[in-house]
Chain A
Amino acid sequence: MANIISDETIEYVGILAKLELDGEEKEKAKKDMGSMLDYIDKLNELDTTGVEPMSHVFPVQNVFREDVVRNGDDRENILRNAPEEKDGNFVVPKTVD
């Protein structure tokens, strides 16, 4: 396997992705990611010099909204699925600002 994923890398990606893996999961993740990257490295066979990266397939452009208020108070709905709510707010563990 060409790509060896270190503990530090998995740890770091876990911080970025907000995922916490236990020992066994972590080992599996290292192995899976390594082999996926090996597979993805196949792309390096291709010469893409001078090729513009394509994010949108079609040349759709300039899609805009007019600046007109159309939404009213929908708080009840917005909070309907909240795990925790207080006085019309979502509640989260204390954030240290």
Chain B
Amino acid sequence: MNIMSLTAVELGKKIKAGEITALEAADAAIHQIEKLEDTYHCYVTVDKEGARKRAAEVQKQIDDGTLNSPLAGVPVAIKDNMCTKGMLTTCSSKILGNFYPTYTSEAVLNLEKAGAVIIGKANMDEFAMGSTTETSAYGVTRNPWNKDHVPGGSSGGSCAAVAAWECSYALGSDTGGSIRQPSSFCGVVGIKPTYGTVSRYGLIAYGSSLDQIGPVAKDVTDCATILETIASYDEKDSTSVKRDSYDFTSALVDDVKGMKIGIPSSYFGEGLDPEVKDAVLAAAKTLEEKGAIVEEFELGLVDYAIPAYYVIASAEASSNLARFDGVKYGYRTQDYNGLHNMYKKSRSEGFGAEVKRRIMLGSFVLSSGYYDAYYLKALRTKALIKKEFDKAFEKYDVILGPAAPTTAPELGKSLTDPIKMYLGDIYTISVNLAGLPGISVPCGVDSKGLPIGLQLIGDCFRENKIIRAAYAYEQTQKRRDCPTVQATE
């Protein structure tokens, strides 16, 4: 048996029981990477030596009883936009091609306290801007289910690594769907928690008011367990929320009797791939059969989420990414003539096309004379969208829909028309605007054999409801590992 075929919690149990050592687990992940990384390119950085060393330390702590977390000794991949002390952190950008953070992000620290072994840093769209992981400055990541297709994005490296068993689980970040959409494309489970649940300290910001870190794993149990580990109130993050409870695993209950599930009819209109539609509606049916009350309803303003999002996210990004200027860290151009030329050349050479596009757009919508028309308008739209969800959650426990309108597109087909690419985020983006939690769970494959994802959206701080619904649904499905990865066994 390949150790890497186990879920994180299963592996954690075996390590605790002494059946597998942390070092064997790390070696298994490294072995899998050596076998498949050339094909899929899930990582920007793989730290084999560091992982082995860390695994040995963790094993000692497990042996002497100081560590007994369910994730102790389990190998993890971290999306490359989370700072890891002393370990290259690039955001998949040339501009951070030589950046070694001097501190570790809070979410990763929480994992380390629980005995996680970091295998490496996962590839992503540059600065998390993209839906395909094709905007990475370090090469594209391929979808393990079909290497001619993208893994989705921006957490494409994290999701592909989990699907390819190149780690037991991963951390991703989600600003407009960047965990849920690639999870759906790669046939894995991913959660975007309520805004403020996981500290953003050490997460290199894209859209500060939208960014959230979350887990990516093989199943719902893993995700709930990981979320429980990384979630915390953090005094270093002013937007961190003191929650009443950080217990997510007690929601792993196979019971949805009486749960009210709403299906927004606008999520099933034009642009939705019929195969995706069928799979998602079949999942709804399954939940209904298990006792949930499922009904369609009108969720308003769905079409306005994407334009509002691109104004807000781009505006925040234009400011957040101003610090990359060749002065304190990162790339500085070789030849320049004076300060402003140094700024311009370093940034123009250091950033990729999509990042530049969003910085330009963001600078424009904030510039003198346009702020009210664009930025404030978008913030007002956001308020209305939030209200629509508030209304929906007065009636429903969970909102059900697809995670993405299609399965994974082929490589090279998305970037040519940005607006078309942005439209792919239609089901995920409003969740970020409203700060809500969402989960993507596999719910079948299409005729090309590519995975389809079911998205469950909860009211803020109600992760437990979506975890419960997702878990109950998952119990009806046979776990479907990536066939091409299994075939390499």
Q: Do chains A and B touch in the complex (CB under 8 A)?
A: yes
> Which A residues are closer than 8 A to B by beta carbons?
9-10, 12-14, 16-21, 25, 29, 32-33, 35-37, 39-46, 48, 51-58, 60, 63, 65, 74, 77-78, 80-84, 90, 92-95
Given contacts A58-B435, A60-B196, A81-B330, contact A17 B360 (CB under 8 A): yes
User: Across the interface, which residues of A come within 8 angstroms of B326, CB to CB?
Assistant: 83
> CB of B272 within 8 A of chain A?
no
Given contacts A40-B311, A43-B308, A57-B435, contact A33 B356 (CB under 8 A): no
Inter-subunit contact A18/B384 (CB<8 Å): no
User: Across the interface, which residues of A come within 8 angstroms of B301, CB to CB?
Assistant: 46
Inter-subunit contact B376/A81 (CB<8 Å): no
Which parts of B407-452 form the interface with A (CB within 8 Å)? 418-419, 422, 433-435
B210: nearest residue on chain A (CB-CB)? A57
Inter-subunit contact A40/B310 (CB<8 Å): yes
Inter-subunit contact B318/A58 (CB<8 Å): no
Which parts of B362-377 form the interface with A (CB within 8 Å)? 362-365, 367, 374, 376-377
* Interface secondary structure of B, over-half rule: helix
Among B99, B336, B361, the most chain A Cβ lie within 10 Å of the Cβ of B361
> CB of B121 within 8 A of chain A?
no
Inter-subunit contact A60/B241 (CB<8 Å): yes
User: Across the interface, which residues of A come within 8 angstroms of B329, CB to CB?
Assistant: 81-83
Inter-subunit contact A18/B340 (CB<8 Å): yes
Given contacts A55-B209, A58-B195, contact A90 B327 (CB under 8 A): yes
Inter-subunit contact B318/A17 (CB<8 Å): yes
> CB of B94 within 8 A of chain A?
no
Q: Which of A9, A19, A78, A94 is the one whose CB lies under 8 Å from B102?
A: A78
Given contacts A53-B383, A65-B235, contact A43 B347 (CB under 8 A): no
> CB of B328 within 8 A of chain A?
yes
Inter-subunit contact A13/B360 (CB<8 Å): yes
Q: Which of A19, A57, A74 is the one whose CB lies under 8 Å from B356?
A: A19
User: Across the interface, which residues of A come within 8 angstroms of B102, CB to CB?
Assistant: 74, 77-78, 80-81
Inter-subunit contact A60/B382 (CB<8 Å): no
User: Across the interface, which residues of B come within 8 angstroms of A25, CB to CB?
Assistant: 353, 356
> CB of B303 within 8 A of chain A?
yes
In angstroms, how far is the closest chain A Cβ from the Cβ of B60?
28
CA of A60 to CA of B98 in the docked complex: distance in angstroms?
Answer: 36
> CB of B359 within 8 A of chain A?
yes
User: Across the interface, which residues of A come within 8 angstroms of B364, CB to CB?
Assistant: 9, 13, 33, 37
The 5 closest A-B pairs by CB, nearest first: A53-B379, A81-B329, A57-B435, A54-B383, A48-B380
